[in-house]
Amino acid sequence: MTVLNEKQQEAVDSVMSGDNILLTGSAGTGKSFTVKYIIDVLKTNKKKYALTAPTGTAAIIIGGMTIHSFMGIGLGKDKTQDIVKKIYKNKIIYNNLVNLEVLIIDEISMLDNELFEKISSIFAIIHSSYKKDCNLLDIPFGGIQLIFIGDFCQLAPVSGLYCFLSLLWDKLNIRTILLDKLIRQSDDLLFQQILQITRKGKCTDNILKVLNSLKDTKFSEDIIPTKLFPLNIDVDKINNIELEKMKQTGNKSYNYIATASNDNLKKAKKYDIELIEMSQVIITRNINFYNGLVNGTRGVIIELREDSVIMKDVSGNVHIITYYKDICDNSASSYISHMPINISYALTIHKAQGMTIDALELDLGKNIFTDGQAYTALSRARNLQSIKIINVDKDSFNMNPYVKKFYKMLKT
């Protein structure tokens, strides 16, 4: 097992001490690896935990589930008391919540303050009632241990304020561990420096010069880079055009249908996917770290079989990809089995958050519309050689003033 660095070990020790923690730091500093290590420790100590994220895409990346699904709160728009009544009627969800000891929320920057407070109230009400302790009503999250992971310099909540602006945040006595050693881009010192500066919403003339030079980046003949765009409309247009081209050339296609346990049959449908030979794809799960088959690995399909896909990656290595089983609700009997591949001609920056992508084409121009979006896109890459930039604007790099103040206070 890889040895943890000092800050990563501090995070593990804090969790074992029962602290509420925020594990933060720039993209590529090993937050996900640290969380996996923490989960192994929790399992060893037989702690009941939940691995969640605010969005479906983020949940898929970590192999967890959305906080909405775990708690049975739907969109989370209903009144707290109405949500609690529904939870009491669902024995599985109710038991999961009352027995929970550790709640893990990844990509915490995407969780808005209103939902943050509502989740806290739900836990307080349910745990207070279950343990017959009215004092728990006044304790945030009913006193369960919290592990938050994410970088507030990346994408903010779609609506509402950052959760750290909630009055609850300070009441939780959160211990913040700031990871500062870049791992993902460890072989590219220049790229490390660029990311450290652009994370703070700055783009110097020298950085702009480097980024502009990436307009001429060349990739392997077989690999077309994944295009990251700020807007869904651009992504859908490109993916549809490229797939239609594939079909018109007569390339073989095949539908891979997901299967699931009875409790997940409805969810499984969205994992059905049509794939086409010679199309560009991206791996959506961590299949085999040693063979380089991880979430974000890019490739091209060279053959479709009934129960598998033959894919060639950016390094020219050929892999056989088979169905992957997602375990749901921390129970081996609850699962979704699917082909862990997506078409990857284009993705939104929002959906790419949390990924490491082998070949990227970026639009960092005027269409960037929110703080942290340009930095999030840029930090998806492993190195400068894996990026092609079609458009870049110096003013696209911005840092939210609340986020700037938040991280400044950590260092004071």
The per-residue pLDDT for range 74-129, each reduced to its tens digit, is 889 899 999 999 999 999 999 999 999 999 999 999 999 999 999 999 999 999 99
More confident residue, 237 or 330: 237
More confident residue, 329 or 253: 253
So what's the pLDDT on residue 411?
A: 67
So what's the pLDDT on residue 350?
A: 84
Taken as a whole, the chain contains a residue count of: 412
Please compute the mean of the pLDDT values over residues 1-20 and round it to a whole number. Answer: 91
| DSSP type of residue 412 | -
Q: State the CB neighbour count (10 A cutoff) for residue 84.
A: 18
What's the pLDDT band for 51 if we cut at 50, 70, 90?
Answer: very high
Please compute the mean of the pLDDT values over residues 214-231 and round it to a whole number. Answer: 86
**Range among 42-51, 266-275, 367-376 with highest mean pLDDT value:** 42-51
The per-residue pLDDT for range 181-219, each reduced to its tens digit, is 877 656 678 998 899 899 999 999 999 999 999 999 988
Please compute the mean of the pLDDT values over residues 299-318 and round it to a whole number. Answer: 93
Query: What distance in Å separates the CA atoms of residue 320 and residue 144, rounded to the nearest whole number?
Result: 42
Query: What distance in Å separates the CA atoms of residue 325 and residue 202, rounded to the nearest whole number?
Result: 42
pLDDT at 260 over 80: yes
So what's the pLDDT on residue 184?
A: 62
128 Cβ contact list (under 8 Å, min separation 6): 134, 135, 136, 137, 142
**Range among 31-35, 90-94, 146-150, 243-247 with highest mean pLDDT value:** 146-150
Please compute the mean of the pLDDT values over residues 34-51 and round it to a whole number. Answer: 95
So what's the pLDDT on residue 58?
A: 75
Q: Assess contact for 271 and 258: CB atoms under 8 A.
A: yes
Outline where DSSP puts E strands in 73-211.
102-105, 145-149, 175-179
pLDDT at 302 over 60: yes
Angle between helices 113-130 and 91-99 (to 10 degrees): 90
So what's the pLDDT on residue 382?
A: 85
Please compute the mean of the pLDDT values over residues 47-68 and round it to a whole number. Answer: 83
Angle between helices 6-16 and 31-44 (to 10 degrees): 40
Please compute the mean of the pLDDT values over residues 364-375 and round it to a whole number. Answer: 90
299 Cβ contact list (under 8 Å, min separation 6): 223, 280, 281, 282, 283, 311, 312, 313, 314, 319
Buried/exposed 101-134: b ≥16 CB within 10 Å, e otherwise: ebbbbbbbbbbbbbbbbbbbbbbbbbbbbeeeee
Q: Look at the alpha carbons of 30, 33, 37, 39 in this order and tell me if their dihedral is positive or negative.
A: positive
Please compute the mean of the pLDDT values over residues 320-345 and round it to a whole number. Answer: 87
The per-residue pLDDT for range 187-196, each reduced to its tens digit, is 678 998 899 8
Instruction: Give the CB-side neighbour count of residue 336, counting CA atoms within 13 A.
Output: 24
More confident residue, 60 or 165: 165
Q: Assess contact for 29 and 179: CB atoms under 8 A.
A: yes
Model confidence, pTM: 0.78
Mean pLDDT (the chain, rounded) = 90
pLDDT at 1 over 60: no
| DSSP type of residue 151 | -
The per-residue pLDDT for range 128-161, each reduced to its tens digit, is 999 999 999 999 999 999 999 999 999 888 889 9
Q: What is the DSSP string of 198-228?
A: HTTT---HHHHHHHHHGGG----TTPPPEEE
The closest alpha carbon to 324, from 252, 260, 281, 254, belongs to 260
Q: 15-29, 47-61, 152-166, 181-195 — which is least confidently predicted?
A: 181-195
Give CATH for domain 6-179. Answer: 3.40.50.300
Please compute the mean of the pLDDT values over residues 55-69 and round it to a whole number. Answer: 78
Pairing mode, if any, of strands 21-25 and 49-53?
unpaired
**Range among 143-147, 266-270, 359-363 with highest mean pLDDT value:** 143-147
The encoded tokens of residue 313 equal 């990656």
> What three-state secondary structure class fits 293?
strand
Q: Assess contact for 18 and 173: CB atoms under 8 A.
A: no
Would you kindly state where each structural domain of the chain is located, as residue ranges?
Answer: 6-179, 189-396
| Bridge partner residues of 325 (DSSP) | 337
